[in-house]
């Protein structure tokens, strides 16, 4: 296919089921050598981007099909839990590795990229339920498309990480949800009492392609890379009813490249707020002056398409910022979700990334502190998983398997929330799990409480155990304080001599 072209007859150009063996290609690097080579490429790109914020990169395509880049891209696709999920070609990672061989498959992918005949195929639509009862559409690309997307991300991410602002935390290297929660805790503890809690409606589905490509062109001048990115945006969707629909807007959720593209699109919001902060509120003197003039100070904290704006001042200031946010998002084809966007006071509390964040009076004193703890929705979710695992339909499982499985689930859940005020919640969840497991054991073995204690508890206690192995739930995870890392968190490619972003 020529650059930028499309057509149904070309959808099978590089699907895994028809990839021939390229026997004339050179031997590919080992994973260790490939990792070192890719790291050097990324270090160079990031340093060049940091040193010259106006630089437009014109020659990146050769790196996209570099053997080392494709090797690491394959490793990331194969190491993902979605590797067992197939796209429209019904080929999984394991099927490709066993039927064609990894190197032969990557040789063919590279050959089509070099010849510029690569054409993404439509993603396979999968509908998954949301907590609200609605359905979310996921797009599952083929393994071939995932590898190329991963290669693109390896090359593009170091460039755009040089530009991304410190207020963005979602789907970025070296950043996590706990950093966003820590920043919210930091500002709400310092008189930022009003909170604009916002959510972008169907963000991944509505991003305007033209506006997104315009933001890409600010940094990327390589027309072949731009054509490849655009071809993924326009690849289409094979719906659950078997029809192919075009994609006029949006980036399908489920693609490896989609989170990066969404961050590039939403960086327009980050840039707007950080520019205002740097110019008007960067120093304590500036912030105090605005307070004396009756003006608000505000700070954006964003995780993917969920974000909050923390405001000092009055409720009207937060409402004005709500209108301003809506205006900033319009050029990207996005709008706020009316149901999920509201202005609240920190004393009322709000939910963000699974945590409830609220200022309350400390027990035994008159001082008020901001507390972060697992939200009611998060607790209900983990209880649902425990309930599902202990239905009557699961009575055929071995007790050791059930306790081991639920223990891993509860500890994994607790690890995410261990930096909040969570100990009492962990104990309550474990108490619920104990009741469900105990009743499950009684039904399975048709025994009473004395027999249950004798057979499935540690001697002299009611602590559940199997074959001497104690059940370890959420409460066994140590609750620790998460240290706020400030505005500037280093990227994986930040040299020690360059200030971290």
pLDDT of residue 303: 96
pLDDT of residue 501: 54
Q: For residue range 404-426, what is the model confidence (pLDDT) as tens digits?
A: 999 999 999 999 999 999 999 99
Among 156, 445, 407, residue whose Cα is nearest residue 453: 445
pLDDT of residue 500: 54
The predicted model gives 22-35 an average pLDDT of: 73
What does the block give as tokens for 60? 């990146």
Check pLDDT > 80 for residue 291: yes
Question: What is the pTM (predicted TM-score) of this model?
Answer: 0.90
pLDDT of residue 137: 84
The predicted model gives 130-155 an average pLDDT of: 90
pLDDT of residue 250: 87
Virtual torsion, Cα 104, 107, 113, 116, nearest 10 deg: -90
Q: What distance in Å separates the CA atoms of residue 70 and residue 229, rounded to the nearest whole number?
A: 16
What does the block give as tokens for 367? 């001082």
Q: For residue range 431-471, what is the model confidence (pLDDT) as tens digits?
A: 999 999 999 999 999 999 999 999 999 999 999 999 888 99
Check pLDDT > 70 for residue 4: no
Q: What distance in Å separates the CA atoms of residue 12 and residue 1, rounded to the nearest whole number?
A: 11
Among 49, 36, 31, 32, residue whose Cα is nearest residue 494: 49
Contacts of 146 (CB under 8 A, 6+ apart): 77, 87, 255, 256
Say whether 338 sits in a helix, a strand or coil.
Answer: coil
What does the block give as tokens for 312? 């000092």
Check pLDDT > 80 for residue 96: yes
- Please provide the distance, in angstroms rounded to a whole number, between the alpha carbons at the two ends of the chain: 40
pLDDT of residue 10: 33
Q: For residue range 81-92, what is the model confidence (pLDDT) as tens digits?
A: 888 999 999 999
pLDDT of residue 433: 98
Neighbours of 480 (CB within 10 A): 8
What does the block give as tokens for 181? 């929660």
Share of the chain above pLDDT 70, in %: 93
Check pLDDT > 60 for residue 1: no
pLDDT of residue 135: 81
pLDDT of residue 449: 96
The predicted model gives 163-173 an average pLDDT of: 96
The predicted model gives 296-318 an average pLDDT of: 96
Q: What distance in Å separates the CA atoms of residue 9 and residue 3, rounded to the nearest whole number?
A: 15
Average pLDDT, the chain: 91
pLDDT of residue 53: 95
Share of the chain above pLDDT 90, in %: 81
Check pLDDT > 60 for residue 328: yes
Of 479 and 14, the one with more pLDDT: 479
Sheet holding 244-245, edge to edge: 135-140, 123-129, 237-238, 244-245
pLDDT of residue 133: 72
Q: For residue range 67-83, what is the model confidence (pLDDT) as tens digits?
A: 999 999 999 999 988 88
Report residue 21's pLDDT band, with 50, 70 and 90 as the boundaries.
Answer: very low
Of 123 and 246, the one with more pLDDT: 123
Q: What distance in Å separates the CA atoms of residue 326 and residue 206, rounded to the nearest whole number?
A: 14
Of 351 and 202, the one with more pLDDT: 351
């Amino acid at each position: 296919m020529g650059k930028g072209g499309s057509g149904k007859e070309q959808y099978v150009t590089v699907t895994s089921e028809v990839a021939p063996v390229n026997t004339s290609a050179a031997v590919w690097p080992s994973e260790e050598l490939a990792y070192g080579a890719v790291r050097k490429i990324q270090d160079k790109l990031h340093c060049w981007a940091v040193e010259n914020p106006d630089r437009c990169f014109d020659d990146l395509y050769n790196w996209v099909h570099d053997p080392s880049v494709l090797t690491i891209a394959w490793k990331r696709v194969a190491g993902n839990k979605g590797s067992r999920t197939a796209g429209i070609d019904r080929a999984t990672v394991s099927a490709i590795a066993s039927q064609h061989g990894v190197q032969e498959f990557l040789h063919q992918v590279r050959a089509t990229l070099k010849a510029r005949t690569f054409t993404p195929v439509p993603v396979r639509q999968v509908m998954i339920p949301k907590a609200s009862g609605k359905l979310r559409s996921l797009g599952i690309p083929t393994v071939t498309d995932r590898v190329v997307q991963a290669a693109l991300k390896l090359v593009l991410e170091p460039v755009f990480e040089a530009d991304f602002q410190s207020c963005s935390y979602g789907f970025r290297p070296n950043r996590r949800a706990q950093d966003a929660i820590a920043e919210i805790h930091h500002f709400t503890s310092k008189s930022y009492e009003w909170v604009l809690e916002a959510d972008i409606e169907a963000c991944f589905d509505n991003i305007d392609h033209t506006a997104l490509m315009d933001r890409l062109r600010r940094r990327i001048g390589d027309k072949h890379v731009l054509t490849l990115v655009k071809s993924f945006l326009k690849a289409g969707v094979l719906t659950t009813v078997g029809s192919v629909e075009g994609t006029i807007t949006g980036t399908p959720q489920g693609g490896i490249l989609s989170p990066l593209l969404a961050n590039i699109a939403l960086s327009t919001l980050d840039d707007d707020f950080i520019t205002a902060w740097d110019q008007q509120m960067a120093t304590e003197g500036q912030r105090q002056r605005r307070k004396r003039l009756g003006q608000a100070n505000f700070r954006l904290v964003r995780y993917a398409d969920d974000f909050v704006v923390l405001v000092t001042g009055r409720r009207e200031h937060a409402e004005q910022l709500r209108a301003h946010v809506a205006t900033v998002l319009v050029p990207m084809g996005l709008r706020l979700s009316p149901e999920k966007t509201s202005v609240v006071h920190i004393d009322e509390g709000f939910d963000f990334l699974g945590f409830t964040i609220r200022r309350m009076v400390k027990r035994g004193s008159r001082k008020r502190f901001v507390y972060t703890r697992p939200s009611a929705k998060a607790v209900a979710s983990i209880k649902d998983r425990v309930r599902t695992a202990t239905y009557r339909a699961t009575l055929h499982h071995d007790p050791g398997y059930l306790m081991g499985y639920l223990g891993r689930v509860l500890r994994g859940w607790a690890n995410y929330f261990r930096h909040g005020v969570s100990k009492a919640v962990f104990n309550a969840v474990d108490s619920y799990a104990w009741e469900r497991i105990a009743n499950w054991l009684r039904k399975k073995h048709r025994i009473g409480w004395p027999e249950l204690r004798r057979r499935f508890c540690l001697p002299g206690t009611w602590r559940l155990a199997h074959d001497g192995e104690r059940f370890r739930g959420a409460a066994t995870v140590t609750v620790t304080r998460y240290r706020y890392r400030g505005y500037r968190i280093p990227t994986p490619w930040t040299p020690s001599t360059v200030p971290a972003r």
